[in-house]
Structure 1
């Protein structure tokens, strides 16, 4: 029986190392998982922002008003049901967009998400109309659930988890 050439042996070893590295990357300890559980029949865009601001009272958002004017509003103004679109957190440390699917779950893995910062979720329709805003502080993985309250209103709940896989 003839042994494989050095070239074949080296190629097999490199291929094996690449496969092992590729399979272990999705399970990196440096990743944070954001899970969106959407129990609605509509799809939404969710943007997760990180802020060093510890309190939701001090958060400021850039919004577009019904008149098309860009302005800055506080967290309380967003809760008043005003019709804003294109809502973004002013001074965000970083952000990631998670598109959702109607009646399904969506997952986003984020590298280097800072565990000591507040995460703010802005939920919008695909026409960029504000649906909800939710603030959570989790040290690692997070899950958001969209449901309908008994009065028919949109509700968001969240939980922190060691793993939401």
Structure 2
């Protein structure tokens, strides 16, 4: 037979585990971004947050072409990189967060400006001349997101997304 004292202790431990589990599942309000650069060039990663992919489709960016011309391109034009340089958002009112990662450096940061239900878009530029090499989108809609971007020699960027808060959001609808 289990003593009363042991039963209370086990109940307290179980309750603490549930509270910690829910806290871990819901996570921070904004995404945590980890960038690992095993390559020999620096990368500039700019995160933009918008309500959804429909709104993303209306974003406009100024770019410099390989010929040195300045142009305005939509988000859809940047989904597949055409090696434009200096990609700069021209629309007002869109939250952004930029991170520069030097060769051999790993950086972890939170994506400022994210709110519940928003889409996160990453524009990735390489080197001093900021050549556009990738556009990544992340669509977790809850707290507790972990986004990862990795660069290694001889390959393009790879990315990952973990939406840890999705299960808790589903349970408590």
The alignment's TM-score, normalised by the length of structure 1, stands at 0.64
The alignment's TM-score, normalised by the length of structure 2, stands at 0.61
Which residue number in structure 2 is paired with residue 127 of structure 1? 129
Contact 2:96/2:112 (<8 A) preserved: no
Q: Number of aligned residue pairs: give it.
A: 134
The 3-state SS of whatever aligns with 1:77 is helix
The 3-state SS of whatever aligns with 1:68 is coil
Which residue number in structure 2 is paired with residue 66 of structure 1? 66
Which residue number in structure 1 is paired with residue 41 of structure 2? 42
Which residue number in structure 1 is paired with residue 3 of structure 2? none
Call closer, same or farther: CA 1:30–1:145 in 2, change over 3 Å.
closer
Query: Runs of 5+ in structure 1 lacking a partner?
Result: 1-27
After superposition, give the CA deviation of every residue in 1:31-87 in whole Å (9 maximum; x if it has no partner): 542211223232211111112342465544321222333222234433444231111
Map 1:101-140 onto structure 2 (within 5 A). Answer: 101-125=102-126, 126-138=128-140, 139-140=142-143
* RMSD value, Cα: 3.0
Contact 2:37/2:152 (<8 A) preserved: no
Query: Runs of 5+ in structure 2 lacking a partner?
Result: 1-26, 166-173
Higher percent of residues as strand: 1
* Alpha-carbon distance in 2 for matches of 1:75, 1:131: 14
